[in-house]
Amino acid sequence: MGAGGLALATTPVLNWVPGFLKSDDEMPDDSKAKRYPTYCEVCFWQCAGWTYTKEVEGKEKIWKIVGNNDDPHSNGRFCPRGTGGVGQYEDEDRLKHPLIREEKDGKQTFREATWDEALDFIAKKMKYVAEKYSPSCVAMFTHGSGGKFFTTVLNAYGTNSVSAPSYAQCKGPRDVAFNETFGSVLGSPEPLDIRNTKCLVLIGSHLGENMHNGQVQEMSEAIDNGATIITVDPRFSTVASKSKYWLPIKPATDIALLLAWINVIIEEDLYDKPYIEKYAYGFEELKSYIVDKTPEWAYGITGIEPNVIRNTAREMGHASPAVIIHPGRHVTWYGDDTQRSRAIAILNAILGSWGRRGGFYNAEGLSMKSMPHPPFPELDHTWKDATLGKYKLGEAALASGICEASIPSPLRDCSYKAWIVNGTNLIKTIPNNKVVLEAIQNLELMVVIDTMPVDITGYADVVLPECTYLERYDEIRASKHRFPTLALRMPAAEPKYNSKPGWWIAKQLAEKLGLGQYVPYKNVEELLDWQLKKAGSSLEEMKKIGVKKLDREFDDLYFLNGEDYEFNTASGKIELFSNSFVAEGFDAFPKYTAHPEPQAGFYRLIYGRAPMHTFGRTSNNPNLHDLMPENKLWVNPKVAKEWGLKADQEIWLENQDGVVSTFPIKVRITERIRIDSVYMVHGFGHNNKQLTRAYANGACDSELITNVMLDPIMGGTGMRGNFVTFHSEKPIKKEA
Amino acid sequence: MRYAMAIDTKKCVGCSDCVVACQTENNIPHGYARDWISETVQGTYPGLHLEIRSERCNHCNNTPCVRTCPTGASHIIDGGIVKVTPEECIGCGACIESCPYDARYVHPEGYVDKCTFCDHRISNGQDPACVSVCPTHCMYFGDLDDPNSQVSKVIAVRNIKVLAPEAGTQPQIFYLV
Its ipTM equals 0.95
The DSSP letter of residue B87 is G
Instruction: Give the nearest partner residue to B20 out of A84, A219, A223, using CB atoms.
Output: A84
Residue type, A148: K
What pLDDT score does A688 carry? 92
Cβ-Cβ contacts under 8 Å, B126 against chain A: 30
| CATH 3.40.50.740-classified regions of chain A | 94-164+396-466+501-519
From B46, B55, B134, residue closest to A2, measured CB to CB:
B55
d(CA B136, nearest CA chain A) in Å: 5
- What is the distance in angstroms between the Cα of B77 and the nearest Cα belonging to chain A? 13
For residues A468 and A41, is the Cβ–Cβ distance under 8 A? yes
| Mean pLDDT within A104-121 | 94
Range of the domain at B135: 3-176
Chain B CB contacts of A7 below 8 Å: 36-38
pLDDT score recorded for residue A409:
85
Mean pLDDT of all residues in chain A? 93
More confident position, A302 or A3: A302
Indicate the pLDDT class of residue A305, thresholds 50, 70 and 90. very high
What is the structure's pLDDT at A697? 96
Given A20, A208, A223, which is nearest B15 (Cβ)?
A208
Long-range contacts of A375-380 (CB under 8 A, 24+ apart): A376/A155, A376/A156, A376/A158, A376/A518, A377/A135, A377/A156, A377/A157, A377/A158, A378/A158, A379/A136, A379/A158, A379/A159, A379/A160, A380/A134, A380/A135, A380/A136, A380/A158, A380/A414
Q: Residue A340: in which H helix or E strand, if any?
A: helix A337-350
Q: Is the pLDDT of residue A387 over 80?
A: no
Q: Which residues of A254-265 are buried (b: 16+ CB within 10 A; e: fewer)?
A: bbbbbbbbbbbb
Give percent above pLDDT 70 in chain A. 96
Quick check: helix, strand or coil at residue A578? coil
Q: How far is CA A671 from the centre of its chain?
A: 28
Q: Which residues of A touch B20 (CB under 8 A)?
A: 80, 83-84, 612, 623-624, 626-627
pLDDT at A407: 92
What residues of chain A lie within 8 A of the CB of B45, using their CB? 236, 248, 636, 671-675
Chain B residue closest to A62 (CA)?
A: B24
Number of domains into which chain B is organized: 1
Pairing of β A665-669 and β A723-727? unpaired
Task: Kindly state whether A47 is in contact with chain B, defined as any CB-CB distance less than 8 angstroms.
Answer: no
Q: Are strands A650-655 and A723-727 parallel, antiparallel or unpaired?
A: antiparallel
Interatomic CA distance for residues A387 and A713, integer angstroms = 12
In chain A, residues under CATH classification 3.40.228.10 are 169-361
* B24 to A20: CB separation less than 8 angstroms, yes or no: no
Contacts of A241 in chain B (CB under 8 A): 48-50, 52
Q: Which long-range contacts (CB under 8 A, 24 or more apart) does A504-508 make?
A: A505/A119, A505/A146, A505/A149, A505/A150, A505/A449, A505/A464, A505/A466, A506/A146, A506/A149, A506/A150, A506/A152, A506/A153, A507/A149, A508/A115, A508/A119
Residue of A nearest to B24 (CA): A64
CATH code, domain with B101 = 3.30.70.20
Q: Give SS3 for A206.
A: coil
Whether A700 and A663 have beta carbons less than 8 Å apart is answered as yes
Cβ within 8 Å, pair A4-B15: no
Helix (H) or strand (E) holding B5: strand B3-8
Give dist(CA B21, CA B23) in Å, integer.
Answer: 5
pLDDT by residue (tens digit) across B98-139?
999 999 999 999 999 999 999 999 999 999 999 999 999 999
Q: How far is it, in rounded angstroms, from Cα B177 to Cα B174?
A: 9
Span A466-487, mean pLDDT?
A: 96
Tens digit of pLDDT for each residue in A64-107?
999 999 999 999 999 999 999 999 999 999 999 999 999 888 88
- Cβ–Cβ < 8 Å for A493, A35: no
List of chain A residues whose C-beta atoms are within 8 Å of the C-beta of residue B46: 236, 246, 248
In the predicted model, is pLDDT for residue A10 greater than 80? no
Q: What 3-state class would DSSP assign to B145? A: coil
Provide the chain A residues 665-684 that lie in CB contact (below 8 A) with chain B. Answer: 670-675
Which residues 156-215 on chain A approach chain B with CB closer than 8 angstroms? 207-209, 211, 213
Domain A169-361: which topology?
Dimethylsulfoxide Reductase; domain 2 (3.40.228)
Residue of chain A whose Cα is closest to the Cα of B99: A1
Q: Average pLDDT, stretch A131-140?
A: 95
The minimal CB distance from A238 to the residues B36, B46, B52 is found for: B52
CA distance B146 to chain A (A): 23
Q: What is the pLDDT of residue A732?
A: 80
Mean pLDDT over each residue of chain B, to the nearest integer: 97
Please check whether the domain covering A29-90+471-498+523-550 is classified as CATH 2.20.25.90: yes
Chain B residue with CA closest to A1: the answer is B102
Rounded to whole angstroms, how far apart are CA atoms A497 and A452?
13
A624 touches chain B (CB under 8 A): yes
Check pLDDT > 50 for residue A19: no
Indicate the helix (H) or strand (E) that contains A53: strand A48-56
Taking a C-beta distance cutoff of 8 angstroms, is the pair A316, A270 a contact?
A: yes
Name chain A contacts of B16, Cβ cutoff 8 Å: 6, 80, 611-612, 627-628
- Contact list in B for residue A14 (CB cut-off 8 A) is 30-31
Kindly report, residue by residue over A631-689, the tens digit of the pLDDT.
999 999 999 999 999 999 999 999 999 999 999 999 999 999 999 999 999 999 999 99
- B134-172 pLDDT, tens per residue? 999 999 999 999 999 999 999 999 999 999 999 999 999
Contacts with A66 from chain B: Cβ below 8 Å: 132-133
3-class DSSP state for residue A709? Answer: strand
Q: What is the spatial distance between Cα A612 and Cα A648, in angstroms, rounded to a whole number?
A: 21
- Report in angstroms the alpha-carbon separations of A277 from A273, A281, A346, A562, A564: 6, 8, 14, 11, 12
pLDDT of residue A432: 82
Query: What is the C-alpha separation between A48 and A691, in angstroms, rounded?
Result: 28
Give which of A545, A613, A607, A713 is closest to A70, Cα–Cα: A545
Could you tell me whether strands B47-55 and B36-44 are parallel, antiparallel, or unpaired per DSSP bridges? antiparallel
Which neighbouring-strand residues pair with B8? B176
Q: Which whole number is the average pLDDT over A720-726?
A: 97
Nearest chain B residue to A213 by CA distance is B135
- Residues A535-589 have pLDDT tens digits of 999 999 999 999 999 999 888 999 988 899 999 999 999 999 999 999 999 999 9
Residue A210: the pLDDT is: 95
- DSSP per residue over A415-482, as a string? ---EEEEES--HHHHSSSHHHHHHHHHT-SEEEEEESS--GGGGG-SEEEEBPPGGG-----EEE-BS
**Sign of the torsion formed by the C-alpha atoms of A490, A492, A494 and A497:** negative
Phi-psi region of B64 (alpha: psi -120 to 50; beta: other; left: phi over 0): alpha
With beta carbons under 8 A apart, name residues in chain B contacting A21.
26-27
pLDDT classification of A388: cutoffs 50, 70, 90: confident
What's the burial of A188, exposed, middle or buried (CB within 10 Å: 0-12/13-18/19+)?
middle
- Note the Cα A119 to chain centre separation in Å: 30
Which pLDDT score is estimated for A81? Answer: 98
Class of domain A94-164+396-466+501-519: alpha beta
Fold of A603-727: Barwin-like endoglucanases (2.40.40)
Lowest-confidence range among A169-173, A409-413, B114-118? A409-413
A672/B41 CB distance under 8 A: yes
User: From start to end of A591-734, where are the E strands?
Assistant: 603-608, 632-635, 650-655, 665-669, 677-681, 709-710, 717-718, 723-727
Q: Does B177 touch chain A (CB under 8 A)?
A: no
Name every chain A residue with its beta carbon within 8 A of the beta carbon of B137: 217, 220-221
- A457/chain B closest Cα distance in angstroms: 27
The DSSP letter of residue A168 is I
Helix (H) or strand (E) holding B161: strand B160-161
Angle of CA points A306, A311, A312, to nearest 5°:
100
Compute the distance between CA of residue A169 and CA of residue A719 in angstroms, rounded to an integer: 9
